Amino acid sequence: MSPALADFVARQLAQPGPAAARVFAEMLARDCGARAVLFYGSILRTGDLEGVLDFYLLTDDRTPGSRRGWIAKRLWPDVSFRHAEIEGRTLRAKVATMPLSTFAAAAADHYLDTTIWTRFVQPSTLAFAADPAAAEAVRDAICAACETAGRYAATLGPAEGRAADFWQALFRRTYAAELRVEKPGREREIIGFDPGRYDALLPLAWEGAGVPFTIAGEILQPKLKPAQSRRWRMAWRRRQAFGRPLNIARLVKAAFTFEGASRYAAWKIQRHTGVVVPMTPWRERHPVLAAPGAAWRIWRARQR
């Protein structure tokens, strides 16, 4: 990790974000004893608190976010849907929870999973930290995510190009590997929210990751050594092979363990279709079994 990259990430994490989101993050942290909370996603970019906020709760190893045993420990994170009344309005959040040490290892590419470093090379803010040591650990993890993403951007991107060309190539490949359904051009949209950030980040990530490169104006050219290129391409092929099975397994897990799944689905249905799905204790306990009934209610409403 280079001092320049550490400074870049520290300044990013220190951005305040919406005040109400920070209050929500502190409430969530108190509920589960989180060491730190990261706020990220579309609402960080837009500030529109009417949508669903995205938080990552990073816990101490001794107080993991899951009580579901072997599967949950390997198919992280645990996901829940929460809501709270803050400043006179109802805020809703999708909350992912995992140990801070696991988050850091995933960011540093110690697992076959690509989801952590792909998401957290994108902007995030540190909405809560229990102490300076937790804040430093999160900063180091985000730096590691940037370095991991930078290595794969150099490996999978063009022989030379603008910074945006490398980031777009990376996001296209990770979306495909993760079985994510994204509209065409989503990678350009993400970079377009703050292109200057991505322009500044790529050389810093390459320096930190040990990627040799040259710059001529806006054009960057990675100068990977043959051994580096072979090692990182082999690493990517393994991650590409396991990406879809991992995410399918996560979807199956989420179908049975997503806390608040019924409330989340009901809110999404009402927001996007206007159809109200009444929440009952049975629907709350059995979101998978309740899904056909919700689909039937939507179909009937559209036939009227």
Task: State the DSSP code for 161.
Answer: B
User: Of the candidates 152, 147, 179, 180, which has an alpha carbon nearest to the alpha carbon of residue 168?
Assistant: 152
> Does 242 share its domain with 269?
no
> Does 23 share its domain with 171?
yes
> Does 245 share its domain with 268?
no
What is the pTM (predicted TM-score) of this model?
0.83
| Digitized pLDDT (tens) for each residue of the chain, 304 residues in all | 799 999 999 999 999 889 999 999 999 999 989 999 999 998 998 888 888 899 999 999 764 444 445 555 668 898 888 989 998 889 999 999 999 999 999 999 999 999 999 999 999 999 999 999 999 999 999 999 999 999 999 999 999 999 999 999 999 999 888 876 566 778 888 899 999 999 999 999 999 999 999 999 999 999 999 999 999 999 999 999 998 888 778 777 666 656 655 455 544 444 445 555 565 554 455 454 444 554 444 445 445 6
Range of the domain at 145: 3-259
> Does 172 share its domain with 24?
yes
CB-count burial class (<10 Å; 0-12, 13-18, 19+) for 121: buried
Domain count of the chain? 2
